[in-house]
Amino acid sequence: MPDHSSIERLQTTVVLAISADGKIADFRRSPARFSSAADRTHLEKQIALADGILFGAGTLRAYGTTLRVSNPELLQSRQQQGLPPQPVQIVASPSGNLNSQLRFFSQDVPRWLLTTEVGAKPWNTHESFERILIVPTSKGKIDWRDAFQQLTDLGIGRLGVLGGGELVASLVATDLIDEFWLTVCPLILGGAVAPTPVAGDGFLANVAPRLELLGVETIEQEVFLHYRVLRSTLSGAVSSLSSGTVPAPTI
Ligand SMILES: NC(=O)c1ccc[n+]([C@@H]2O[C@H](COP(=O)([O-])OP(=O)(O)OC[C@H]3O[C@@H](n4cnc5c(N)ncnc54)[C@H](OP(=O)(O)O)[C@@H]3O)[C@@H](O)[C@H]2O)c1
């Protein structure tokens, strides 16, 4: 069973908008700007609850920008809690291959980079990132337990995870996601190559991570789903997958 003892303070919540057919972007992997103003308000609220916001380089490349907290009530609430106005925006990019001309780099937000020794090189002389965290990788994949330990040591207690599918898949597979917020939006994107909330190799249904529905709200045409990841079943699924033993299906 995975060991959570050293990183139990870090709480992770994935926040994504999906089409009614479960895609997070169209087949061109365009930025997902298909949700309503109500969803953007919801997203900003979730961002305002976090100490740090984590996203993959693919998401940054698609959007070129991030969402800042700008609602005065949310800013006031953060101030009352002794939090800085903006959570830290943390980009996961082992390659470090990011365009420094992206608008993200001129937004008034604190920025950290999660990368490798090689990926850090182009950024060491830049002031674009306040902090560069070097994380171990195996076959190009980030060691999330090490990364989360570093984030915890740096005072990140609540982490909002804003995608994309590759990043979320690796965190689910490492049993490091606590909650999901999924906004189901009224459109069909279709396409075999259009990304979904969780990419990666996938799980067999009989060992797939299970969720508990914490809440559901409908605002006009969108449905806001709030789930908690059931830790015990996920641990079983992850350890089954990593050991290569898949339990016999129950019929
Ligand atoms: N609907 C929504 O709410 C929503 C939200 C966010 C994104 N999106 C969509 O999602 C798409 C982007 O998702 P994506 O899956 O292609 O990309 P992604 O997960 O955002 O980023 C993938 C990149 O991040 C780094 N990375 C992430 N996880 C890693 C891991 N475990 N190990 C090593 N490196 C890792 C790598 O960067 P390097 O290549 O730099 O090494 C990798 O190429 C876009 O189309 C975007 O529009 C939708």
How does pLDDT run across 85-142, given as a tens digit for each residue?
A: 999 999 999 999 999 999 999 999 999 999 999 999 999 988 999 999 999 999 989 9
pLDDT at 231: 80
- Cβ atoms of 159 and 129 closer than 8 Å: no
pLDDT at 6 over 80: no
Minimal-distance CA residue to ligand 1 atom 28:
167
Minimal-distance CA residue to ligand 1 atom 16:
58
Among the four given CATH numbers 3.30.465.10, 3.40.30.10, 3.20.20.100, 3.40.430.10, the one describing domain 8-243: 3.40.430.10
- Pocket-testing residue among 18, 34, 46, 59, ligand 1, by greatest number of atoms within 8 A of Cβ: 59
Minimal-distance CA residue to ligand 1 atom 1:
24
Closest Cα partner for 166 from 226, 239, 92?
92
Rg, the chain, Cα only: 18
DSSP H helical ranges for the chain: 37-48, 57-63, 72-80, 117-120, 144-153, 165-173, 231-243
How does pLDDT run across 40-87, given as a tens digit for each residue?
A: 999 999 999 999 999 999 999 999 999 999 999 999 999 999 999 999
How does pLDDT run across 201-220, given as a tens digit for each residue?
A: 999 999 999 999 999 999 99
CA 168 to ligand 1 center in whole angstroms:
8
- Cβ atoms of 91 and 52 closer than 8 Å: no
Closest atom, ligand 1, to C-alpha of 16: 3
Q: Which residues lie below 8 Å from residue 89, measured CB to CB, with a gap of 6+?
A: 52, 53, 55, 66, 104, 109, 110, 111, 112
Chain mean position to CA 59: 10
Band of the pLDDT at 1, cuts 50, 70, 90?
very low
For ligand 1, whether the C-beta of 91 sits within 6 Å is no
Token pair in block for residue 67 = 């969402």
pLDDT at 79: 98
CA 57 to ligand 1 center in whole angstroms:
5
Token pair in block for residue 122 = 């182009």
3-state secondary structure of 225: strand
What's phi and psi for 113, nearest 5 deg?
-120, 130
CA 58 to ligand 1 center in whole angstroms:
4
For ligand 1, whether the C-beta of 95 sits within 6 Å is yes
d(CA 194, CA 184): 16
DSSP letters of 91-141? EE-TT----TTSGGGGSSS-EEEEE-HHHHGGGTT-SS-SEEEE--EETTE
pTM, to two decimals: 0.92
Q: Which residues lie below 8 Å from residue 138, measured CB to CB, with a gap of 6+?
A: none
Mean pLDDT of all residues belonging to the chain: 91
Q: Where are the domains of the chain?
A: 8-243
